[in-house]
Amino acid sequence: MELGFEVTQLPPHDAPEEGEEAPGFTRPLVNDEYWEDAALSDTVPALVVFYPMNGSFPATYIWQEVEERGWDDHETVVGVTASTPYSHRRFLDERDTDARLFADPSNGVAREWGVAHELDGMTGVEEPRPAVFYVDEGMTVRYAWVADEHPEFPPYDEIDGVVG
């Protein structure tokens, strides 16, 4: 993006790197009909997409790309953000995707993964910064990308190569 001025930098993150173990978690996992508690370890191998909360324009843009590129045709794709299960249900209703979404209103998963983002001007509200991981069946991170700027979008073409 050429804006003619400096884009806001995010502070350093502490996300798991390629080859490291992915932090496990259990949260309500929302599909197009219902939600139930699910462990990440029961959904891997999977592409794990951390994204800003439902309703934000980055959320819309990121999932439009996921849909258009058909990542969910090749891999299990799960999203994670600080929105409620009800919000996820509505978000999925608007999309044409087999992806499922973990509801993490406390943002605890993003914190555990080192990708939390406290929003300026929204006191007490935090969400994940955009980050994409490919986690294999042994819970090892095989691909990792984390946003360094606000806003920044995933390197979709690079991830196309991961998804295969």
Partner 1 sequence: MEDERILYRLQACPFCERVVRVLDEHGVDYESRFVEPLHSERDAVRRVSGSRTVPVLVDPETGATLTESENIVEYVEKYYGEGEDPNTDGGGD
**Which residues are at the interface with partner 1 (CB under 8 A)?**
28, 33-37, 42, 85-86, 89
CA distance 133 to 9: 21
Closest CB to partner 1 among residues 39, 122: 39
What's the closest the beta carbon of residue 38 comes to partner 1, in angstroms?
Answer: 10
In 3D space, the residue among 35, 18, 39 whose CA is nearest the CA of residue 109 turns out to be 39
C-beta separation of 21 from 141 below 8 A: yes
What's the closest the beta carbon of residue 4 comes to partner 1, in angstroms?
Answer: 46
What's the closest the beta carbon of residue 94 comes to partner 1, in angstroms?
Answer: 14
Task: Give kind and range of the element (H or E) at residue 49.
Answer: strand 46-50
Closest CB to partner 1 among residues 33, 157: 33
CA distance 109 to 142: 19
Closest CB to partner 1 among residues 20, 34: 34
What's the closest the beta carbon of residue 121 comes to partner 1, in angstroms?
Answer: 31
Closest CB to partner 1 among residues 74, 90: 90
C-beta separation of 159 from 145 below 8 A: yes
